[in-house]
Amino acid sequence: MTRKERYTYILDYFRENVGITTTELMFGSAFQLLCATLLSAQCTDKRINEVTPALFAQYPDAKAMAKAEVEEIFEYVKSVSYPNSKAKHLVEMSRILVDAYGGEVPSETEELVKLPGVGRKTANVIQAVWFGKPTLAVDTHVYRVSHRLGLVPQDANTPRKVEDYLMKNIPLDEVSSAHHWILLHGRYICKSARPMCEKCPFETFCPKILENSKLGK
């Protein structure tokens, strides 16, 4: 099966069996999505969804969070990964949003990545989920699945290279959904340590490019 045929089969499957989908993070505004996405780095969405209701109840927008001290935010996020740095980033980010953007979240990558704790992946999530732009965030799940299923060549060895390759092969109007299709497939089926190949709809043609595998090279 050629790589082009792979894309066609996989996208057709997701389109017919999953449909339009989006993030599993809970949020009520662009600001809350930004906070939740920032917190989700190297942490599960499930954990973040357990933390954010209380956080957002106390600090629903940038203006409220900008008035908080880092120690106060830490108490709400101490159960997530890297809570000290994330609490600091949330407060600094909120203050910048208030001072430079009137409390609103900017929609452009160049502006988003200026915010503390916000990298390209987070910026792409915000643009795709909130602003409806055709951007594709490459997290560990998307990176892993893209390689395992042979959607990208092995020399696509950085998140940006994977992003660029996927963007060339996925229709623009499906980029956002495709990101979540691949991500959720990695989260629930094509897991890092123990992929559930017996439940995978792509088992019959997956090259199984697992870590240290010689297959598919």
pLDDT for residue 205: 87
Q: What confidence tier does 209 reach under pLDDT thresholds 50, 70, 90?
A: low
Q: Is the pLDDT of residue 42 over 90?
A: no
Q: Is the pLDDT of residue 215 over 60?
A: no
Q: Is 185 helix (H, G, I), strand (E, B) or coil?
A: helix
Q: Is the pLDDT of residue 9 over 70?
A: yes
pLDDT for residue 211: 52
pLDDT for residue 207: 82
**Distance between CA atoms of 208 and 197, rounded to whole angstroms?**
9
Could you tell me if 181 and 145 are in contact, meaning their C-beta atoms sit under 8 angstroms apart? no
pLDDT for residue 213: 44
Between 128 and 211, name the one with better pLDDT.
Answer: 128
Considering 88, 121, 133, 199, which one is annotated as catalytic?
121
Catalytic annotation present for 67? no
Beta-carbon contacts of 1 under 8 Å, excluding residues fewer than 6 positions away, are: 9, 205
Domain made up of 3-21+136-199: CATH architecture:
Orthogonal Bundle (1.10)
**Distance between CA atoms of 158 and 160, rounded to whole angstroms?**
5
Q: Is the pLDDT of residue 4 over 70?
A: yes
148-184: pLDDT as tens digits: 999 999 899 999 999 999 999 999 999 989 999 999 9
Could you tell me if 41 and 122 are in contact, meaning their C-beta atoms sit under 8 angstroms apart? yes
pTM: 0.86
Catalytic annotation present for 168? no
Other CB atoms within 10 A of residue 160 CB: 11
30-129 has which fold? Endonuclease III; domain 1 (1.10.340)
pLDDT for residue 17: 94
Considering 63, 88, 133, 139, which one is annotated as catalytic?
139
Beta-carbon contacts of 212 under 8 Å, excluding residues fewer than 6 positions away, are: none
pLDDT for residue 6: 92
Q: What confidence tier does 193 reach under pLDDT thresholds 50, 70, 90?
A: confident
In the chain, CATH 1.10.340.30 covers 30-129
Could you tell me if 34 and 118 are in contact, meaning their C-beta atoms sit under 8 angstroms apart? yes
**Distance between CA atoms of 211 and 189, rounded to whole angstroms?**
16
- What is the CA 130 to chain-centroid distance, rounded? 13
In the chain, CATH 1.10.1670.10 covers 3-21+136-199
